[in-house]
Structure 1
Amino acid sequence: MFKRGPSLENDEVVGFDDEASKVIKRLVEGPVESLDIIPVVGMPGLGKTTLARKIYNDPKLSYEFFSIPWVYVGQEYKIKDIYLRILKCFKKSIEDHLNDDVDTLAKVISDFINKGGRCLIVLDDVWVAEVIDDVKKVFAENKKGHRIMMTTRDRYLATYANTEPHDLKFLNGKESFELLEKRVFGKGSCPDELVELGKKFAGNCGGVPLAVVVIAGALRGRPNTNDWVRVQKNVAEHFYKNTQAGCLKFVEMSYNRLPQEVQTCFLYCGVFPRGFDIPSWKLIRLWIAEGVIKPQQTYTPEEIAEFYLNDLVNRNLVILMRKKSDGQIKICRLHDMLHEFCRTEASNKWLFQQMHLTSDQAIPSIQDKDTCRRLCIQPSILNQFLLDKPIAEHVRSFYCFSSEQKQIDLPPNDIKHIHKAFTLIRVLDVEPVKFLSPKIFNQLYHLRYVAISGEFKSLPPSFGKFWNLQTLVINTSTSESTLEVKADIWNLLQLRHFHTNIPAKLPAPATTTGKTSCLQTLSMVAPESCKKDVLAKACLLKKLSIRGQMASFLEPKGGISNLEELKCLEHLKLLNDVLYINKTIHLPPAFFRLVRTVKKLTLVNTRFSWSDANKLAQLEHLEVLKLKENAFIGDSWKPEIGGFSALQVLWIERSDLESWMASSHNFPILRHLVLISCDKLKAVPLGLVEIHNFQEMRLDNSKEAVKSAKEIESKKPKFKLTIFPPETDSKDTQ
């Protein structure tokens, strides 16, 4: 009658002792007179149900709670079944209630609860918010400190139940090997000759218990090294083929609930190599170039794509590796188990084809034009692939990524085969390959996205004919200090993002009339390119990075005055590329008026006086301020009262600052403070304690300020303080 949920076997539980203690503490010591919900959230296979079972069976809870019903919910739940399962905890026979409606059942359960002591209801595998709302109805009176513990893989849902859910951690290497050993050898131990291989297997599982269990199942009963080596060569296949263990079945459950467009975005993440750190900007731009983001009138493609990526992270299908200073996703990654799901499903749907060596060390043939139009190739076999002079006119996307970020030097004659093989290519991301000249791509007029590397001194005029180009990424290793752009980029009406690793010298627009450029990102350009006609043409820019000699640019009548043309500018970075400065330069008095729309400002090596910093307080939309490598010089900073009204993140790096006075009057909503290599700073202003939003601080190599930082931590509950290098316990050094 009642559904039994999928879970790991319960005979060996590894790595959950600390996690269980934390959740039990919250269940027992939470609000005394009100209902509290403790969600346990994590990716598929991470062991949420296993942890919940461990907590459920803990003797301490049976002492603290009068009754503890366990209910598996699942995707296809019925609230009546949930109510009946709860009721069964209070009555041996529920035959009399099988025909009751849900409201009657809720009332019956509520009456039982009111007669007893504290009640804890465990809801396993919750997928929708309605379940939480319906179960809360049985607690008509919440004055006993009743609890609900729930497991879910959806962070949106977890935070709906409680703004501070319990995020289940991944197993560490030692725990993963311990679990593997128990699953393979039971009460025995791993033979010495297999320990090294066993640790590799455990590491390959990425800290996910279900992945460890699946691999252990493949190893069980195979006691010799040769068998283990054979399994090692096909680890990914075991994730998919072992349907009895249901490893990827867990992923499929989440995948099937995604909207079709988001499903494609998720599978598309598989084009990156296993274990690859994926920059969010790259993933988003590729989604757009591939046409998987459907245009909408209300939002830009970038906004829609960012929403989808956040959705995948909140559903625990994509792992958040690093955040930007404003809290948005900067780097993400697929767990190996999820990567295998994406790769296999994408292949089944002909979304893309992975090119890798077969068992006989051969390169598989390219699938025909009626199937796959996207190719991903490992850098190690690119040379061998090109030697065959492939012809694939049907291919529209070609990818070559390197997890080690190494460049590949290929013979020029081999490289030429890339543009000959893919004459109708639209997306080309081959940054590990080192090209001698970008002219090789002259005939690829269909390109929408290009990311290439090489010894480029200039961008040739031929790039001005790529009418469909949306994103252009150029990384050059030339000895030149700038990249001269000879192409008429103002004629590229689809170009939205232009990235270079050295300052680009932009051409002047042929005419100031006509349609404005669609450029949203220019990262980075030389100061002399910031002329009035150039910025007037690029008036829709949201992100601008300027690098070069800033002294003349920052003069009252210098190029900085042309920034007034940019009415949509949100992110601005000024990097002064001069090693020694003879004179102090100043922020122009009108700076705040020129960039008043800016939300994020980064200043590097500008060496302004700290008195100039107070001018930045007039930027009413400024949320993130990064001051790096002596952006300001001097030994003291005393901000004026009433400034920085919107600032949430303050980052100070490599500064000679010794004394800093500040409080809630200067930074009323500051949330996050970062101090890096501020080794002369004597103290973090204690007045920051008064800021209600202030919740996180990071100190790197700023040891003089550690004592004051700890004092702030002691006075603010739930405050996160990170100190690097970590302080060594005196006992450990003896």
Structure 2
Amino acid sequence: MIAKSCGGLPLAIAVAAGILTKVDKTQHYWQKIAKNISSVVATSDDQFSNILTLSYDHLPCHLKACFLYMGGFPEDYNIPVSKLTKLWVAEGFLELNEPRSLEELAEENLEDLVKRNLVLNIKRRSNGKIRFCGLHDLLRDLCIRKAQEKEFLHVVNTYVRGIPNHRRLTPLTSFPTEITQLFHLRFLALALAYSELRKSLLVPSSISKLQILQTLMIRVYGWEISDSILFLPFQIWEMPQLRHLIFFQGSMLPTPLAAAPSGGQVLENLQTLCVDNFRFTSNTFEMIPNLKKLKVYYDDASRAKWAKYCLYNLVHLCQLETLNLMFTFILMCEVDPFPASFAFPPKLKKLTLSKCKLPRQGMAVIRLLPNLEVLKLRYIAIIGEEWECSDGEFPRLKFLLMERLNLRSWPVESTHFPCLERLIIKQCLQLEDIPCEIGDIPTLVD
């Protein structure tokens, strides 16, 4: 009855199904939904719009703001979920009543909207979480219309050709210090342009005036990767509300110990850190006790060493779940022995290594991580021509990527990866064969 009431409109049927998944599964309630849908189809020429409006009206209050916010993104745009969830948190849409993070709650809200067929799942990550999402054109129109009715946001679709006083807008070539006067700012993302006249870019110490800032993202364009030209002040360690610090390649963030006598404040809310050539001194991990996601680029050609950057201290990041270590130049393990006492954080769920030449004892540490679900090994990430596996290792691994490794032999049995769902092997040109026993792993997805 409900499908018939949708007038043969596929999107309307899908959205109606999304409504039904969240209501009481009783005959009375379903008949009520069918009657409502039938009435809007019968009384309006714009059948899509009215049925979609009905789906919006059935959203819980906590999801309506999240949904309307998505109307601010461009049409046919693949929305990065990592950005979207940070924006939802910064806007204060979420209320947390359980012992988990606001970001986790934001991801659950997004999954809820996807299940209701109001948001498109464009692409998922290797761990199964949504990486990019989007809106159907008709749903975006609904989003914008409802948002304007409620004065939630206003979307300007026209392109402004003229600028008052004949001024031009460009890619910023320096950090605009006026931003530091915006005391209530919670989310700040900047794209700075490198020019020949300005060999380096400096973030001013006055950035610490933004005491309630949650997310700071800075990307620099137009420089050689090996040049570190974005200099960050130690005052960043004096911003206690920070949740996400993301600086792309070419950034220099001072360690807390070397920056100030006081060492800054403990950033208890910091969950994400993305930076270059960072040293993990003993004081550093004390400053970021709740860090969950860490991504570091190392481009030190002559002295890229595990000891120099104190990477043996990573084990003290007890809440860390995602770790990505990328070396632009291949790590010189011959002159820098791998620390005998090295260990990865015990709660790691996702680990990505690139050009770090991890020796046999390093792999022994990885294979016993109890919570590891995703492992990506790229560009000579490990040393040796043979990777031996044994029972009891990688107990929860679901995703394995091997790319441009120098492996020749990989003896594997079906019992070695008991939970493996996806295996990707790219350009491992010296690998003699792929053991047929891999095909006997029961959890492996075709």
TM-score interval, normalised by the smaller of the two chains: 0.7 to 0.9
The one-letter amino acid paired with 2:6 is S
Is 1:560 the equivalent of 2:316? no
Instruction: List aligned pairs for 1:298-377, cutoff 5 A.
Output: 298-357=99-158
Show CA shifts across 1:364-422 (max 9, x none). Answer: xxxxxxxxxxxxxxxx53x63xx238xxxxxxxxxxxxxxxxxxxxx9x645xxxxxxx
Is 1:501 the equivalent of 2:248? yes
Among 467, 483, 487, the alignment partner of 2:211 is 467
Question: Secondary structure of the residue that 1:659 maps to in structure 2?
Answer: coil
Show CA shifts across 1:98-129 (max 9, x none). Answer: xxxxxxxxxxxxxxxxxxxxxxxxxxx77646
Does the CA-based 8 Å contact 1:289-1:449 persist in structure 2?
yes
Question: Secondary structure of the residue that 2:392 maps to in structure 1?
Answer: coil
Provide the rounded CA distance (Å) in 1 between the counterparts of 2:335 and 2:415.
29
Question: Secondary structure of the residue that 2:25 maps to in structure 1?
Answer: helix
Show CA shifts across 1:442-490 (max 9, x none). Answer: 3222211011101362322121211110001101125332532115112
Alignment match, 1:442: 180
Is 1:250 the equivalent of 2:51? yes
Question: Secondary structure of the residue that 2:122 maps to in structure 1?
Answer: strand
Larger radius of gyration: 1
Does the CA-based 8 Å contact 1:543-1:571 persist in structure 2?
yes
Change (3 A) 1:469 1:571: same
Provide the rounded CA distance (Å) in 1 between the counterparts of 2:84 and 2:284.
29
Alignment match, 1:83: none
Which ranges in structure 2 are unaligned for 5 or more consecutive residues?
34-42, 194-199
The one-letter amino acid paired with 1:526 is N
Alignment match, 1:269: 70
TM-score by length of 1: 0.52
Alignment match, 1:396: none
Does the CA-based 8 Å contact 2:231-2:251 persist in structure 1?
yes
Q: CA deviation at 1:287?
A: 0.9
Does the CA-based 8 Å contact 1:570-1:598 persist in structure 2?
yes
Question: Secondary structure of the residue that 1:266 maps to in structure 2?
Answer: helix
Provide the rounded CA distance (Å) in 1 between the counterparts of 2:97 and 2:304.
39
TM-score by length of 2: 0.84
The one-letter amino acid paired with 1:681 is L
RCO higher in structure (CA 8 A, sep ≥6): 2
Alignment match, 1:547: 297
Change (3 A) 1:587 1:8: farther
Q: CA deviation at 1:525?
A: 3.3
Question: Secondary structure of the residue that 2:155 maps to in structure 1?
Answer: strand
Alignment match, 2:192: 454
Alignment match, 1:160: none
Change (3 A) 1:388 1:294: farther
Show CA shifts across 1:157-177 (max 9, x none). Answer: xxxxxxxxxxxxxxxxxxxxx
Q: CA deviation at 1:690?
A: 3.4
Q: How many residues align?
A: 419
Instruction: List aligned pairs for 1:422-441, cutoff 5 A.
Output: 434-440=171-177, 441=179
Instruction: List aligned pairs for 1:718-729, cutoff 5 A.
Output: 720=446
Is 1:6 the equivalent of 2:24? no
Provide the rounded CA distance (Å) in 2 between the counterparts of 1:689 and 1:274.
42
Higher helix share: 1
Alignment match, 2:197: none
Provide the rounded CA distance (Å) in 2 between the counterparts of 1:681 and 1:276.
40
Change (3 A) 1:3 1:651: closer
Provide the rounded CA distance (Å) in 1 between the counterparts of 2:49 and 2:312.
57
Identity %: 30
Does the CA-based 8 Å contact 1:521-1:544 persist in structure 2?
yes
Question: Secondary structure of the residue that 1:652 maps to in structure 2?
Answer: strand
Q: CA deviation at 1:302?
A: 1.0
Q: CA deviation at 1:536?
A: 1.4
Does the CA-based 8 Å contact 1:503-1:526 persist in structure 2?
no
Does the CA-based 8 Å contact 2:120-2:133 persist in structure 1?
yes
Does the CA-based 8 Å contact 2:304-2:332 persist in structure 1?
no
RMSD: 3.2
Does the CA-based 8 Å contact 2:315-2:346 persist in structure 1?
no
Provide the rounded CA distance (Å) in 2 between the counterparts of 1:682 and 1:254.
55
Does the CA-based 8 Å contact 1:614-1:640 persist in structure 2?
no
Provide the rounded CA distance (Å) in 1 between the counterparts of 2:390 and 2:21.
50
